[in-house]
């Protein structure tokens, strides 16, 4: 069964006739051509598929595409403006908070959400860790990611 849905994707209105069984992850990859969302676990545990839906961080692999109808969706592709990295993206680069890069888009989306909610607040490392607990990385050891989040909060 197919149904037409529309949503704002990275600031642009998009409309798709989707298979109602597809997740938002599948809609973004297969229909919209968004490559930053990655498939890791398929059960909402790793955060590789993290996106913002109406400014709420979600795992797109367990969010039905139908639920996106009428929403505002932001992915990593929507973070840079006119070729200039966002402050969060730049902090990740400056702090070397990347290795293989597979988890990086999800972490950047988690950090973007966290910074928006906590700008100008005195946030502890434990609060940063708790907020990012839904995002897993096999390569970095997390220290540079934590530094990037702290830097993002200051900028």
Check: CATH 1.10.3720.10 for 2-76?
no
Report helix, strand or coil for 68.
Answer: helix
According to DSSP, residue 28 is labeled I
Burial of 126 (0-12, 13-18, 19+ CB in 10 A): exposed
Work out the average pLDDT over 3-31: 98
CB 81 within 8 A of CB 20: no
Mean confidence (pLDDT) of the chain: 96
Q: Which CATH superfamily is domain 87-154 in?
A: [2Fe-2S]-binding domain (1.10.150.120)
Q: pLDDT digit string (tens) for 42-87?
A: 999 999 999 999 999 999 999 999 999 999 999 999 999 999 999 9
CB 25 within 8 A of CB 37: yes
Q: pLDDT digit string (tens) for 104-126?
A: 999 999 999 999 999 878 999 99
155 vs 60, more confident: 60
> pTM of the predicted model, to two decimals?
0.94
Q: Which of 75, 147, 67, 81 is nearest to 112 (CA)?
A: 75
Pairing mode, if any, of strands 72-74 and 2-9?
parallel
- Residues 6 or more apart whose Cβ sits within 8 Å of residue 43: 61, 62
- The sign of the torsion formed by the CA atoms of 91, 93, 94, 95 equals positive
Task: Give me the residue spans of the domains in the chain.
Answer: 2-76, 87-154
């Amino acid at each position: 069964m197919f149904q037409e849905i529309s949503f704002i994707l990275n600031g642009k209105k998009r409309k798709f006739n989707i298979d109602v069984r597809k997740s938002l992850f599948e809609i973004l990859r297969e229909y919209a051509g968004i490559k930053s969302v990655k498939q890791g676990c398929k059960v909402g545990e790793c955060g590789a598929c993290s996106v913002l839906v109406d400014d709420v961080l979600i795992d797109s692999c367990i969010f039905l595409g139908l639920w996106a109808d009428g929403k505002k969706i932001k992915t990593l592709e929507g973070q840079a403006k006119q070729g200039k990295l966002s402050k969060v993206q730049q902090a990740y680069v400056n702090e070397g908070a990347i290795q293989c890069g597979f988890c990086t888009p999800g972490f950047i989306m988690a950090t973007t959400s966290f910074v928006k909610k906590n700008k100008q607040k005195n946030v502890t490392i434990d609060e940063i860790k708790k907020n990012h607990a839904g995002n897993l990385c096999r390569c970095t050891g997390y220290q540079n990611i934590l530094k990037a989040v702290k830097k993002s909060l200051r900028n």
